[in-house]
A and B are shown apart, each in its own frame.
Chain A
Amino acid sequence: MNSEAIVKETRAYHCLECGVCTSSCPVARVRPSFSPRLLVEKALFGFGDEIVRDRDLWSCLVCGRCTSRCPSNVDYLNFIKEMRIEASKLGEKGLFSHDGILNTIMELQSLSLRQKRTSWITDDLEVADEGEWFYFVGCLPYFDLVFGEGGYCDVGLKPTERARNTVRILNKMGIKPVVSNDERCCGHDLLWNGDLEGFRRLAELNLKTIEKSGAKKVICLCPEGYVTLKRDYPSYLGEQDIEVVQLYQLLADKLKEGKLNFVENGSDNPVKVTFHDPCSLGRIAEIYEEPREILSGIPGIELVEMERNRADALCCGTSGWVNCSSCSKQIQTERLKEAEATGADILLVACPKCGIHLSCAKYNSDIKIEIKDITDLIVEKMA
């Protein structure tokens, strides 16, 4: 798509130049040189070539705060995505974090290698090769090696514990999910970094794997994986005969049905927690209440909201493993301070990547608040 077509497609020519996007943008708040409004204007005035060469094209977090507030319904997120696709055709790319290891890991998964990505499965977990439900694990097994203990960039996490948690919870619900070594990265980051071809390859391989398992329902913990499978696979590869479900949707239903129960809490002092809405789960997928319903069902837990929550939530500061910078750190620090200001003991996250980014910002800092994944809490309290 050339820049004119992108402007049309994303309704950018409706832009009122009101500046709501820029003033909503967490990046622009830290780095005034970055202005979503000016990027759109540049495109309107036909300077598309400049945008695709601009280092700031990769600074956008695709958090969607601008899109959700734009009075003219400019589809800013797709504007960025299409511009990046154009830019990568010219060989442009963002500055990769971790020397680009994560990006290469994603790309390598589009080759037909025999991965050993299910080695996180312990004996107590029940999984299957074929069945009704496919648990889409995502990149957790790789995150273990990068961010887990002994990993390159140890931030004090054990990412695959989230996967084990998910299976534990599903087992409790009576579901024995399919978990496959042939699963690939969902392709979210490749797509949003402009590598459309790479994304397609991964998506096709994943659809084939799911089909082979016979599953008709796919369950995702990772919000990015969820929106990618639910929204992007159909839009790029056509309608699929599968139902994509986010874990918290399923659990909220089960809670209502009385099939998810928690142990009674002995002590009177409730634990105060606060909750960080991930961009993809919140603004993109509009799943705001389900995690909160689950939390309110857990005895002994008191949820206190941060100043900015739900559609107003701040992003965790990095996306797609590009252009992570001092700006990201400032956004993250701001978010963590906001969490601390609630007086909560625990900051709950619902996205493995949010957990990683926020924990990374805690490293060598004086921020104390504990960061936990919601699934940790559920498994702890599940009856």
Chain B
Amino acid sequence: MAKILLINPTVREEDVPRHVPYGIALLAAIAMEKGHLVQVYDENAWRQGDETTKAVCVADDWDIIGYGGITTTYASVKRIARIAREYAPQAVQVMGGGLLTSLPREMMSWIPQVDVGCVGEGFITFPEICDMVDRGGREFWDIKGTVSRKPGGGLIMSQMRPLMHDLDSLPFPAWELFPLEEVYFKNSQVLFSEEGMLASRRLDINTSYGCSLICRFCYHLGIAGDMRYEEDENGDLNVAFDQPGTYTRSIRYHSPEYVGALVKHAYDKFNINFIGFLDENLMTMDKFSGRTWMNDICNQWHDLGFAPKANDDGTWTGIHWAGTSHATLCTKEVLKTMREAGCSHLVYGYESFAPHVLKTIGKGATRESNLRSFFWTLEAGIRPVPNQIIGFPNEDFDSIRMNMHAWDDLGIQVKPHFATPYPGSEWFTTYRERISGQYDGDMERFILDLGDASSISAVISHNFNAVELLGLREAMLQLNYRRIDEYEQIWRKNHQIPDGAPSTLLSENMTGAFLRDADKVKSAIKDSERQDAVAETTGAASTH
């Protein structure tokens, strides 16, 4: 058996750690089930600094050190890899997660200490890597779903790992290997609803994989059927994700019985009082199952006695829960059923209330379906959490004002995110050159710059630059229509757009279908850059 150290890298340092890394907790459980010796160091939870990471690396003779996570763990992962190579040189370093999966070749070159990368789902690939290391083998290219180093230099991507379909055969996550009492339960609170605010022992569960929508800023970690392999111009394999006209998805979910048993396990073992569903979009599963899945999960909640019952003093017994919904896929009936089983709040990625913006983002929602679901959710007694984004490719002054009016009318208090092209998303592929141009051609700097989408990184708006978006967001928050009107006049003058004409640098035939055509967008960006270059040399005003 192999001696395995799994390290959860640090993420979102500006906030306290709130989520046990579900993927790593599952991989730890799988490796233990296979008979390996496993330890977890949750660097994100402990936040103890490099000295402790070094001590962990020398605490035993590790055969494998594994780490990975979402894109924004990059800086932490790079640091861990360096420490691990220095303090545990004998260990095979395995990296996985959305970070590696979106850019496997780049990651292997930026982090030379990684011996093997797990591309996409790790449920089968990771234990196969562990077995190979245990047997003394290092021919990782024989294992599907890996990227590894050729003995003579260069990288090999093995065949793509098919997704696992029998999800219920997975063990429950090894929550016990994480500091629940010391760290996570103290940070249980979720300020999205009264019940979330009072949560004191929360655990998260991920009960499905996939989302049927194609939001162009979204990335599904290569575990939602969103990943394909393609040969590049040199004949080398590489990953490919959503592209205009090419969208692939695989919708997979645990049975309601597995979900019930998982929650019961969490309750019996850890006495939880709140569950956060991490699922990308619960409503995709509900629709896909013929409207039975959510209903059956709610029945599990009732049957197991977890549906909350209010006490006279305002507290309750049972387990409240929350998750992610979708404006067009939810129904009035399912929302009511969910509330009766204890659902307290649902996150909606409304993103925008401007029809011309909604048409281009791939959300499958309209202003009307946004409004309808908003009221249905409130009527059901669930708090909708209405997420908003600005800085979309065709964002303009009209869309900005439409959003402000909607917030004003609906009582929405929100600080919108900025449309951010995380690697793996369609807009990362479409705007790749433009993104790298904003970082002097250094894509690694872009990755290091990524954090919450509430701070600005690469801009993909055709109309506004970073400074403008920051200023506009500030004025939006204050519902300061006057300042926005005034700035529009300056903007129009700078761009020679007359009053009355649409407030956009995109012509009428450059919205809708145009923005869904990557080649056209790329050539328009080139054109506008050429014009900018001319403008700069002639001294004319230019924003980009």
- Co-complex (A, B): no
